[in-house]
Structure 1
C-alpha cells in the first residue's frame, strides 16, 4: 500500500480509476525517478500486485459502471456488498469483521433493505455513489453496550427516562440549546395554523421542559463555552433567566462550584513567561556536506542554507499531497518539454506553421494528464497564446544562429573539490561564435537588479560554465547574451527580456568569486546551515514556498517583528 501511495498517488495523479494507478506506476518506473519517492523493483511489483487485487475486488462494480444503461439500485447494492466483502477478505478467504459490531450490523441492515426495496429504482452507475452517501448520511450508529460503567452521554429524549445521581448540562449557549426554530420557506404561520400544524415554538417548549426535568437531578453542573471558534457566545435564555433569579434572591454563592475546575484548567496551560527556542544551527561534518550542487540550488543556498541541509544532506524530499491537482511545477515541466522537442525536431529550419507544430507537441503532453479541468480550461488556452507569440518572435531569435542546443548538461569543477552542474534550457550559437543562453520561465520573471546583484544567479552561473567549457557539446566560448523567455500565456502570450544589465562575462567572473567564497565558508565544519530569513526582496519568493519551514520550527522562534519584516 505504501509503495502504491508513493508511486502513484503521491504525485500528480490525473488518471481515472485503477487503470490510471497502473499507468502512473508504469510511468514512475519508466522515468527511473530518484529520491524518496523512487520505488525499488520489488516495491514496484508489489504495488502492481495490489492494483491487480483491487481490480479483482472492484470487478462487480466496474462491470456495471462500464455499461451505459441504468441499473436497478438493488443490483448496484449487491455489487457494492460483494466488493466490500472482497476488500475485507483475509488470507483464509473470509471477511469476518465486515458485518460485525454495531457499525457492521447497521451497514448490513442498510444494504439488505436497499437490495429488498431497490428493484423498482433504476439509476446510472455513476449516480450510485452520491445516492448511497445520501442514504448513509441519515444513519446513526448507537453503541448498544455501555462504553463506561458509570458515564453516559444522552440526548434530551434519553435523559427524560433516567434518574442519575449527577447531571452535566452542556452547550448552554443560545443557538445550540435551545436551537433556533424556523417555520421554513414553504408554509407561513397562518398557513400552518390553517392546516392544524403546531407552531415552531412548540419545540422550544419541549426543549424547556427537558431542561427543567434535568435540573431535578440530585446534583447538576451547568456548563457552556464562552467562545466558539474564537467568537464570544451568548448564554442560553434559560441560563440567563436562572442567573437573574439567583441574583435577585442573593444566592450567587450557592451555585458556585465547590472546586475551582476552570481555574485548574487555565493554570494547566498557563505559561508565566515565554522564551522562544533558539533557531536550529546544524553543523554536519565536512564529509557529509555536499560537494556538488546545481545552479538552481545555489540561489536557495544563499537565501536559506537550512534547505540545503535538509534536502541535500539529510536527503529529505517533500512528498506531494494525496490527490494533488496539477500544479505550476508540472505545467512548467510540460512547457519545457514541448519547447525542447520543438527545437530538437526543427533545429535548422522552422516549420511552415510554427504555432500549430508547437501546440501539437504540447497537446500530446496535456492529453496525458487525462480530463483535468485545470488543464482544459486554463493551461491549453494559455499555451496557445504563447505558441502564437513564439511563432511571431522565433524567426528573429534564429536570425544568424548557426546551432541550437536544448536541455544542455554542463559541469564545472571549481578546483576546490566542489562541482557545479547545470541544465540549460536553450543555448544558441551566434554567427560570431558566441553563445546566447535562454531560460524559460512560466512564472514571474526575476527582476533585472536581482540578477545583477547575483541574488538570482542561475544564468550568470550557466554563463560561467559556458565560458570555461563546461558544456561538452558547446566547448569553451564567450557568452554574448543572457535572456529570459516568459511562457506564461498572459497578455500577448509571452515575453523576451535581457536577464541583466551587466555584461555576461563580468557577471560570470563575479559569480565565480562569490561561489568560491560560499563553498569555502561551508567547507568549514564549524559553519552552521542556518535558517535564512534575509530582508532582501529577491528572496521573498523562496521563503514563501519554503517546504522545510516546519522542520526548522520557524514559528517557535521567529518573532512577530521578524515575520512582518520578512513577509
Structure 2
C-alpha cells in the first residue's frame, strides 16, 4: 500500500516540465514505499507507454542497487494477453491494409475518377488509420454513415463510399486487428478491476491520454483503491480558469495541456486536485513560467500584457536558453554538431530532439568526422537502406522499360552481382556506361546488353564479358515479361529477380542481399508481405512499385553498431523521457516542428468533431506538449534554418510566440534576454562558419590561361571550333590538348541537341531527293513522311515525337514552297571537307548543312537552326561558321566544285516564319577573312599565347562543358588571366 485508504479518489499526480520523468517517477515510488519490506516493490505494477521509457525506468532502478523490481508492462502489451482477448490470431496491420486495398482496387476499377491507381495503398493505409482511430475512440461505422454531408462538397459524399468499405471489418465475427484487440483488452481489464479491485498498487505513467483507449484506461487506474496516474509535463503554472475553460477541441486542441485537461474533465477533477508526485523543483522554474505564458491558448494571449510583467527579470529566466538562427540547413546542422561535440568534451550527456530527419542525418554525418556516433532512436527508414533501395530499383525494372540512368543505378548498386564476380562486374559496368553515354540507346534492353557484351568480348578478348552480358540480359528479359498478376505472385517474381541480379553469374544464392541487420529486416518484410498478400489483389507491374515503396517506407531498420551513449538523437515524442544535461531542439520551423497535419481524404475537421473523432490539430497539441517539456531542460539550444533549399522558412509557432513575448516586455529586459540568446547562438554559427572556411593560405583559383608547348598545340580544327577558339580558347585546350570529351547526360532526353540532329537529318534526306515534287503541298507531304520516319528511328519518346512532328507540320508547307522557289539548287549536303592553310601549316575542316549554286555560278552557303539565327553583331564578332565555310569554298576545299566565291551566306530558322539572317560576301572580303583566320591561328601556334578561359563574354543559356575544370566561380571574367607554361617548352 502506497496511498492512504482514506485519500480522495480519483488519484492523479503530475511532474512539471524540466524534471527527469523516469528518474522522478522511481524516486516518488520509492519514497512512498519507505519503511515497507523489499518485496512490496515487487507487488507494484507500473503501466508505461513506450519501450524506451521502460528501459529508462529499469536503468533508474538499477542505479539504486540490487532490489526487487516492480512489474513494468506496456499499455500495448494488454492486446497480447490471451486471458483478455482470447487465442484467435490477430490480423496484422499490413494484412488489414492489404485487405482494404483489395476493396479499394475494385472500387477504382468501377469508377476510375475516384482516385489514381498509384494512390491505392496510400488510400488503404489512411482508411486503416481511420478505422484504428474509430476503434480507439469507440466510434461505430453507423456514426460515420449518419453524418450529414448535405451542406458539404460532393467530395465528402464520395468519401463515404470508401468509408462504407470498412463496415465489414467491424462485424462481431470479423478477424480482430491490433487496435480492436487493444480496445477489447482494456475494456475487459477495467471490468476485472471493477469486479475485483486489486489491493496492490497500480500506476500508469508517462502517457497523456491522447488516444481514447489509453484515456479510458487512465481513468480506470486513477479510480483504483491503490491506483494513480502520473502525468508528464503537467503545467502547474497555468491558471485554474484556463484549465477549466479548455473544452472546445476546435479552439484548444493545439494547446500543449489540452489532452491533460480533457482527462481532468472526464474525472471531474480540477487543477488543484492534481498532486506533485515528488517535491523536486524543475531545472528552471522561472523559465517554466515564461514558456507557460508564451503557450497560452490563442484566445487569451492578451494576458501577455497583464501577466508578463510578473515574470520578473527575463535575462535570468533565459540564461539557460540559446537561439541559433542559421542561414541554411547545412549551417544549422554544423552548429548543432559542434554544440553536441562541445557537450561531450565537457562531460555532459546531450540529446538532439527533432522531427526533421534531414537535419538529424546531416548532424550524424558531421559527428562522424570526430568519431562520435550518436544513438539514433529512429533508426533508418528501410526504403533508404541498401537492400530497400535495391528492392525498389528491381521493382521499377518490372514496371517499365529501363532508361539509361535507371539501368546504371541497378548495375552500380553495391548489392548487384555481390557474389564472386563483383570485380569484373564493376569493370564491365564502367565500359558499358561509356558506350551508352556516347552512343545510346536511351532505353537499353536485353538484346542490347547481349549484343554489346558479345562484341566487347570479341574485340577486347575479355573472357568475363560474355557471361556477364548473358546474366544481365537474362535479368532484363525476365523483368520485362512481368505482367498483371495477383500480389503474391508479383512478390514471388520480385524476390526471384532480386536474388537473380544480386548473385550475378553465380548459379545459386542471393549474393549479399540478405546479409546484416538491414538485409535481414528487408527479407522479413518481404516474406511478411508475401504471406499477408491476398490473392484477390490483382495488380499490374506498374501498380506494384508504389505499393512496395509505401510498405517499405513504414519500416525502420537498425544496425547493431556501437554508439556513444552520451549523445542521443530523439523524436519529439521521446522528449519527455530524456534527462540530458544539454537538450537541442532542432528544426524549429513550421512544417517540421510541428509537422503539418496530413490532409484527411475522408472527413474534414467539422465532420470529425461531429463524429467524435480526433481533430488533425491533435498531433500539433502533442508536439506542443513535447516542446514544453523539452524546452524546460537545464541547458537548451533552440535552432532553426532561416532558409531551406527553396525559400525562406517560417519559424515554429512556439518559437515565434516566445520571441514575440520577449520582444514585447522591455520593462523586464525581454529584448535584452532575446539578444543574449541570439548572441550565444552566434557563437556556434561562427564556429560552423570556421569549420567550412577554406584552409588558411589556400587562395581561390586564378583565371587559367595554359600555354602548352608548340608540339602539343592543335594543327586541325573545325569551323565550329574556331568560333570557340575566339570566345573560349580554354575549351579547345581541353578538347585538343588534354584530349578530354564531355560525356552526354546520364539520362538522355529529347533536348535541343537531339532536336537539331533530327531536323538536319530530315532536311538532308528531303533535299537529297531529286527531283522534288514541284507541287508545294506534295513536297510538304513528302517532308512530313520523312520526318515521321526519322522520328520513329531516332526519338524513342512518344511525347517528343508528337511535339516535333507538330512543329514540322507548321513549317512544312512554307519550307517546301520556299525551297521550290529558291533561285539556287543544292549541290552539297552535309559533306565533310578540309582546307590546308600553308601559312600557319594548319587544316580547317567543316561540314556545311547545304551549299547551293546560284545562277551566276557562285555559291550560297546555308545553315539550318532550330532556334534563333545569330544576330548581325554576333556574326561580325564571333559567329563565323558560314564565313569560314566561304573561305574553304574559295580555297577549293569542296572537291569537284573547285575554288568558288560564296557570295551569299544564310542562317535559316526552322521555326514558324522561317526567319533568315545572313550576309553578302565578295572575293576581297573572303580573302580578308582568310588573312584574319591565319593571323588568329598563328597567334595560337605561338608558345607565348595562352588558351584563356572565357576570353570573350558571350551570353549562353547553359553552362559550358568544361567550366568546372577552369574553376569558373572562383574567378570572374573581370579577373586578369594568369598564363602558365606547361610541359617541355623546348
Smaller-chain TM-score bracket: 0.7 to 0.9
- Matches of residues 385-404 of structure 1 in structure 2 within 5 Å? 385-397=810-822, 401=825, 404=827
Q: How large is the Cα RMSD of the aligned pairs?
A: 3.8
Distance 1:330 1:459 in 2: 22
**1-side partners of 2:544 and 2:591: how far apart?**
35
2:592 paired residue number = 176
1:427 equivalent to 2:855? Answer no
Displacement of 1:186 after TM fit? 4.7
Does structure 1 residue 198 correspond to structure 2 residue 619?
no
Structure 1 stretches lacking a partner, 5+ long: 30-37, 563-567
SS in 2 for 1:223: strand
What stretches of structure 2 of length at least 5 have no aligned partner? 1-428, 977-986
Q: Which residue in the other structure is 1:221 paired with?
A: 636
Q: Which moved more, 1:229-238 or 1:2-11?
A: 229-238
Q: Give the Å deviation of 1:285.
A: 0.4
Is residue 359 of structure 1 aligned with residue 787 of structure 2? no
Tell me, yes or no, if structure 1 residue 527 matches structure 2 residue 941: no
The alignment status of 1:285 with 2:709, answered yes or no, reads yes
Q: Secondary structure at the match of 1:281?
A: strand
User: In the alignment, is residue 549 of structure 1 matched against residue 549 of structure 2?
Assistant: no
Contact 1:424–1:438 (CA under 8 A) maintained in structure 2: yes
Counterpart contact for 1:295–1:462, Cα < 8 Å: yes
Cα deviation for residue 188 of structure 1 reads 4.7
CA shift, 1:516, in A, is 0.9
Q: 2:872 aligns with which of 435, 448, 471?
A: 448
* 1:275–1:474 distance in 2 versus 1, CA, 3 Å: same
Residues 481 and 498 in structure 1, CA contact (< 8 A), matched pair in contact too: no
TM-score with structure 2 length normalisation? 0.49
Q: What corresponds to 1:112 in structure 2?
A: 527
Match of 2:743 in 1: 319
* TM-score using structure 1 length: 0.82
Question: SS state of the match for residue 125, structure 1?
Answer: coil
Residues 12, 323 of structure 1: 8 Å contact kept: no
User: What is the DSSP-based 3-state SS (H/G/I as helix, E as strand, rest coil) of the residue aligned with 2:640?
Assistant: coil
2-structure distance, mates of 1:391, 1:45: 54
Provide the C-alpha distance between the structure 2 equivalents of 1:351 and 1:40, rounded to a whole number of angstroms.
51
Deviation of residue 298 (structure 1)? 0.9
The alpha-carbon deviation at position 258 of structure 1 amounts to 12
Q: CA deviation at 1:232?
A: 5.5
Q: Would the aligned equivalents of 1:3 and 1:47 in 2 still touch at CA under 8 Å?
A: no
String of CA shifts for 1:233-279, please: whole Å, max 9, x gaps: 42552685499689859995998969954443344456899976421
Q: Could you say which residue in structure 2 is the equivalent of 1:34?
A: none
Residues 398/273 of structure 1: CA separation in 2 closer, same or farther (3 Å cut): same
Aligned match of 1:77 in 470, 487, 491? 491
Q: Which moved more, 1:553-562 or 1:296-305?
A: 553-562
CA distance in structure 2 between the partners assigned to 1:517 and 1:173 by the alignment: 62
Aligned to 1:476: 899
Q: 1: distance between equivalents of 2:662 and 2:874?
A: 71
> Which of 480, 493, 516 is the matching residue for 2:934?
516
Q: How many residues align?
A: 533
Report the Cα offset of residue 126 of structure 1. 2.8
Matched ranges for 1:26-41 at <5 A = 41=459
Is the CA contact (8 Å cut-off) linking 1:172 and 1:224 kept in structure 2?
yes
For 2:748 and 2:612, how far apart are their aligned partners in 1? 54
Any conservation in 2 of the 1:60–1:82 contact (CA below 8 Å)? no
| Equivalent position of 1:3 in the other structure | 431
Once the two structures are superposed, residues 157-207 of structure 1 have per-residue CA deviations (whole angstroms, 9 ceiling, x without a partner) of 445455445443323345433335578575455533332223444434433
Partner of 2:319: none
Deviations 1:449-507 (A, max 9, x none): 543x2522111211111112111232123333223333x2x324x34x46214x24233
**Residue 343 of structure 1, aligned match among 764, 767, 773:** 767
1:449/1:500 contact within 8 Å kept: no
CA shift for structure 1 position 431 = 4.5
Instruction: Work out the CA distance in 1 between the residues paired with 2:861 and 2:924.
Output: 15
Task: Quote the offset at 1:79 in angstroms.
Answer: 0.8
Q: 2: distance between equivalents of 1:260 and 1:449?
A: 54
Query: Residue 131 of structure 1 corresponds to which residue in structure 2?
Result: 547
What corresponds to 1:565 in structure 2?
none
The CA distance in 2 between the partners of 1:215 and 1:454, in whole Å, is 65
C-alpha separation in 2, matches of 1:505 and 1:173: 71
Q: CA deviation at 1:441?
A: 2.0
Aligned to 1:466: 889
Aligned residue for 1:381? Answer: 806
Change beyond 3 A, Cα 1:111–1:58: farther
